[in-house]
């Protein structure tokens, strides 16, 4: 068999033509064009290196691609098979082969059977390419069902040839369940004997009979296949398993809409279509998960605009946990829908070793232009000493279903119901703190980023506290507010002379104003809070005690920042004058809102992840009460157990 050759010839070209083409392209190069009729390839012939590799085009007139679809029924999930056919049209194989279970069947009501086949044939009519039917036990479950098949589709087993490849389509319900009968065995033998010179044989059947008892008839089929190269595709069990029998691959496919737990590829339970490329060496098989095949027009500009508009049409806010007794409190979930269509919100609290929320999960539909408030009871044991570090995470999915879109639009977010207790900042004697970036004079750093409430950037780059950990504390004297930070980092990336965007760093965010919901709640566009004033991005140096400050950030006047390396990372100290904070409130400040972000940079890839102690203030996940500290010392309970 001939194969189109794709080596590029380089015939001589007149010098005037070369100069003319070079002038046209403005390349200052001598360019000639090569045309090869056999491969229909047109490439410029550069004098010297060319901007492409030396490999041939992956094109072969003897190669072809087709798709195998698996069980649609046996616990039919509405719409999945239709979705698969739409995606098959997008990837455009040459034809499609099934492995059976196309309708639910199992009934003596012939009118119902007729309706089911009419529905299925309507689905097949949406394909742009040929579809080959193979019967399953849901299609031929009784003698009358077999008659209905023959009436509609003719024989229950058959063969065809395509580009010198033999396709055998068999019936595993031949006379009785899970069996290939004697006549069909004889058909297989005769067909194989009549086609000895094919380059490959492909077998399609519903049940994986090679894994059944000997009386199934498969042993005789396999004996007839003998030593010829072949590949077998089956379905039925709704679980993907690949087998190696002698030198041949046998595939038990998962589902294309049939009943499945959808536990994932490792469990062999997922929806897919199988993409087969027949090469000179045999079939190359790939399994395409339906969620991994996207329409080329998704999204269109209109869809993108609608998605953006809907993304700004809802707000979700989860309040801090308010204690009502020594063992019980509550949080309120506020859901606002500004869109003209209903909003569906699903929420599930993650496991927490201290908190027990009720309800544990909820589903809520919020009408267009309305707001819903959901109360959640939170309980804990009396012997647990809770602090403002404790926060209850919730996974939330918000969904709209626009009529003019083929599928819903969803957003998944992680929220926290934190136990915000507005801790009091400890007061120390003036002169007791030495600003050197080393933290030797700090008695404790009680706040931790072991469980960051938000990750941004390449979230996979942070592997947990063993990868990067931050602890911090606050104290005050009569002149300054001090913030001390200790960062433990398994790999500290410091690149002198560059900004903090490309190396490990810490950002301190301050909002020295009285916290109130109206000021801090996210608006329609979720813009930045009015007066967030981070002092600076700080990059500690590798050898000396003075920190490098990125001048592009706004700073509160008079702030001093020093950093120092440590054996397992680095430390930082801020000294922020009260005199710079007081004018912002107009009176000696009593409360301020604080947040910390630490950036972790990967040495090899340069990927960056930002860990936020509390969610970024301008995002929906942020609670206006989060991160608020008090300067004064009112008589407050130090923990919930003292209420």
Q: How confident is the model at residue 541 (pLDDT cuts 50, 70, 90)?
A: very low
pLDDT of 522 over the 90 cut: no
Question: In three state form, how does the secondary structure of 518-582 look?
Answer: HHHCCCCCCCCCCCCCCCCEEECCCCCCECEEECCCCCCCCCEEEEEEECCEEEEEEEEEHHHHH
Within 10 Å of residue 631's Cβ, how many Cβ atoms? 18
- Taking 70 as the threshold, does the pLDDT of residue 592 lie above it? yes
The yes-or-no verdict on residue 426 having pLDDT over 60 is yes
Confidence of residue 428 (pLDDT cuts 50, 70, 90): very high
Q: Which residue has the higher pLDDT, 177 or 546?
A: 177
Position 188 pLDDT exceeds 50: yes
Q: What would the pLDDT profile of 358-375 be if each residue is shown by its tens digit? A: 999 999 999 999 999 999
Tell me the pLDDT band of 513, cut-offs 50, 70 and 90.
low
Interatomic CA distance for residues 461 and 454, integer angstroms: 14
Q: What's the CA gap between 17 and 25, in Å, rounded?
A: 12
pLDDT for the residue numbered 408 = 84
SS3 content of the chain, % helix, strand, coil (to 5): 20, 35, 50
Higher pLDDT, residue 583 or 254: 254
Q: What is the pLDDT of residue 10?
A: 35
For 224, phi then psi, to 5°, come to -65, -35
For range 588-595, the mean pLDDT = 85
Cα 214 from Cα 523, distance rounded (Å): 70
Give me the mean pLDDT over the 298-317 stretch: 83
Indicate the range of 72-86, 247-261, 354-368, 496-510 predicted with least confidence. 496-510
Q: Are 494 and 541 in contact (CB under 8 A)?
A: yes
For residue 20, pLDDT beyond 70: no
Q: What is the pLDDT of residues 308-317, one digit of tens each?
A: 899 999 999 9
Task: Tell me if 319 sits within 8 A of 623, measured CB to CB.
Answer: yes
Match 């626009």 to its residue by tokens.
402
Cα-based angle 433, 438, 444 (whole degrees, multiple of 5): 65
Rounded to two decimals, what is the model's pTM?
0.59
Residue pair 477/430 in contact (Cβ under 8 Å)? The answer is yes
Instruction: Read off the DSSP letter of residue 624.
Output: T
Is pLDDT of 589 > 90?
no
How far apart CA 365 and CA 354 sit, in angstroms, is: 30
Give me the pLDDT at residue 335, please.
Answer: 96
Cis peptide before 107 (omega within 30 of 0): no
Beta carbons of 418 and 321 less than 8 angstroms apart: yes
**Which of 323, 212, 275 lies closest to 67, judged by CA?**
275
**Cβ–Cβ under 8 Å, residues 287 and 272:** yes
CA distances from 443 to 166, 432, 473, 566, 625 (A): 80, 11, 9, 17, 27
Please check the confidence at residue 523 and state whether its pLDDT lies above 50.
no
Q: Measured between alpha carbons, how far is 579 from 590 in angstroms, rounded to an integer?
A: 13
Predicted confidence (pLDDT) at residue 39 exceeds the cutoff of 70: no
pLDDT at 539: 44
204 versus 55: which is more confidently predicted?
204
Report the distance separating Cα 505 and Cα 492, nearest Å. Answer: 9
Residue 113 and residue 108: Cα distance in Å, rounded? 8
Q: Kindly indicate the confidence band of residue 123, based on its pLDDT and cuts at 50, 70 and 90.
A: very high
How far, in Å, CA of 532 to CA of 594, rounded? 10
CB atoms within 10 A of CB 553: 15
Cα(594)–Cα(534) distance, integer angstroms: 9
Burial class (CB in 10 A: 0-12, 13-18, 19+), 581: buried
- Cα–Cα distances (Å) from 36 to 39, 54, 170, in that order, read 6, 16, 44
Segment 138-153 shows an average pLDDT of 95
Helix (H, G, I), strand (E, B) or coil at 596: strand
Q: Which of 3, 1, 38 is nearest to 164 (CA)?
A: 1
pLDDT at 547 over 50: no
pLDDT band, residue 134 (cuts 50/70/90):
very high
DSSP E strands in 361-400: the ranges are 361-366, 370-379, 391-400
Mean pLDDT highest for which of 143-147, 260-264, 323-327, 538-542? 143-147
In the block, tokens 């991005």 appear at 537
Q: What is the mean pLDDT of the chain?
A: 81
Can you tell me the distance from the alpha carbon of 397 to that of 347, in angstroms, rounded to the nearest whole number? 7
Stretch among 99-108, 236-245, 284-293, 521-530 having the lowest mean pLDDT: 521-530
More confident residue, 285 or 539: 285
pLDDT tens figures, 208-222: 999 987 789 999 999
Cβ neighbours of 223 (radius 10 Å): 11
Residues in contact with 586: Cβ distance below 8 Å, sequence separation at least 6, in sequence order: none
DSSP state of 328: E
What's the rounded Cα separation, in Å, for the pair 122 and 118? 6
User: Would the pLDDT of 113 be above 70?
Assistant: yes
DSSP 435-457: -SSS-TT-S---EE-SS-SEEEE
Residue whose structure tokens are 């912002």: 584
């Amino acid at each position: 068999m001939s194969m189109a050759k794709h080596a590029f010839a380089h015939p001589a070209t007149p010098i005037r033509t070369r100069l003319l083409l070079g002038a046209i392209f403005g390349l200052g190069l001598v360019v000639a064009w090569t045309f090869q009729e056999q491969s229909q390839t047109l490439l410029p012939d550069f004098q010297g290196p060319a901007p492409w590799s030396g490999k041939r085009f992956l094109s072969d007139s003897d190669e072809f691609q087709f798709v195998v679809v698996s069980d649609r029924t046996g616990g039919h999930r509405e719409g999945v098979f239709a979705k698969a056919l739409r995606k098959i049209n997008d990837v455009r194989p040459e034809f499609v082969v099934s492995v059976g279970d196309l309708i639910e069947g199992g009934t003596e009501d012939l009118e119902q059977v007729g309706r089911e086949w009419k529905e299925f044939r309507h689905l097949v009519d949406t394909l742009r390419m040929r579809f080959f039917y193979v019967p399953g036990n849901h299609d031929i479950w009784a003698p009358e069902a077999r008659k209905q098949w023959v009436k509609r589709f003719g024989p229950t087993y058959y063969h065809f040839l395509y580009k010198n490849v033999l396709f055998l389509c068999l019936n595993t319900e031949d006379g009785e369940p899970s069996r290939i009968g004697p006549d069909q065995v004889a058909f297989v033998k005769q067909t194989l004997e009549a086609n000895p010179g094919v380059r490959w044989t492909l077998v399609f059947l519903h049940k994986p009979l090679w894994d059944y008892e000997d009386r199934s008839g498969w042993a005789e089929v396999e004996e007839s296949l003998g030593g010829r190269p072949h590949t077998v595709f089956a379905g039925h069990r709704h679980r993907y398993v690949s087998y190696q029998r002698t030198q041949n691959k046998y595939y038990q496919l998962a589902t294309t809409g049939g009943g499945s737990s959808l536990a994932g590829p490792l469990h062999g339970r997922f929806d897919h279509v199988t993409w087969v490329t027949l090469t000179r060496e045999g079939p190359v098989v790939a399994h395409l998960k339906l969620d991994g095949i996207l329409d080329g027009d998704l999204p269109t500009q209109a869809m993108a605009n609608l998605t953006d508009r809907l993304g700004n049409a809802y707000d979700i806010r989860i309040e801090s946990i308010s204690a009502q007794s020594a063992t019980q409190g509550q949080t309120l979930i506020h859901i606002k829908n500004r869109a003209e269509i209903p909003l569906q919100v699903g929420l599930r609290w993650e496991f927490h070793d201290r908190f027990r929320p009720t309800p544990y999960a909820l589903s809520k539909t919020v009408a267009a232009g309305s707001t819903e408030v959901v109360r959640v009871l939170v309980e804990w044991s009396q012997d647990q000493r809770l602090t403002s570090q404790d926060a209850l995470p919730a996974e939330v999915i918000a969904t709209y279903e626009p009529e003019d879109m083929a599928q819903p639009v969803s957003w998944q977010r992680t929220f926290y119901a934190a136990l915000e207790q507005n801790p009091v900042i400890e007061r120390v004697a003036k002169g007791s703190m030495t600003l050197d970036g080393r933290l030797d004079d700090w008695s404790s750093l009680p706040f931790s980023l072991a469980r960051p409430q938000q990750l941004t950037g390449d979230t996979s780059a942070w592997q947990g506290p063993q990868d990067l950990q931050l602890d911090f504390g606050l104290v005050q004297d009569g002149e300054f507010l001090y913030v001390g930070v200790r960062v433990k980092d398994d790999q500290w990336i410091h690149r002198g002379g560059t900004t903090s965007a490309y190396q490990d760093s810490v950002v301190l965010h301050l909002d020295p104003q009285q916290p109130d919901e109206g000021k801090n709640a996210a608006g329609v566009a979720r813009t930045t809070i009015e007066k967030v004033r981070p002092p600076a991005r700080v990059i500690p140096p590798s050898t000396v005690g003075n920190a490098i400050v990125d001048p592009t950030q706004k700073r509160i006047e008079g702030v001093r920042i020093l950093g120092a390396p440590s054996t397992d990372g680095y430390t930082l100290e801020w000294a922020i004058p009260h005199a710079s904070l007081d004018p912002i409130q107009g009176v000696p400040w009593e409360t301020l809102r604080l947040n910390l972000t630490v950036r972790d940079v990967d040495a090899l890839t340069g990927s960056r992840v930002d860990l936020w102690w509390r969610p970024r203030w301008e995002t929906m996940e942020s609670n206006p009460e989060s991160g608020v500290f008090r300067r004064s010392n009112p008589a407050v309970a130090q923990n919930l157990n003292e209420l």
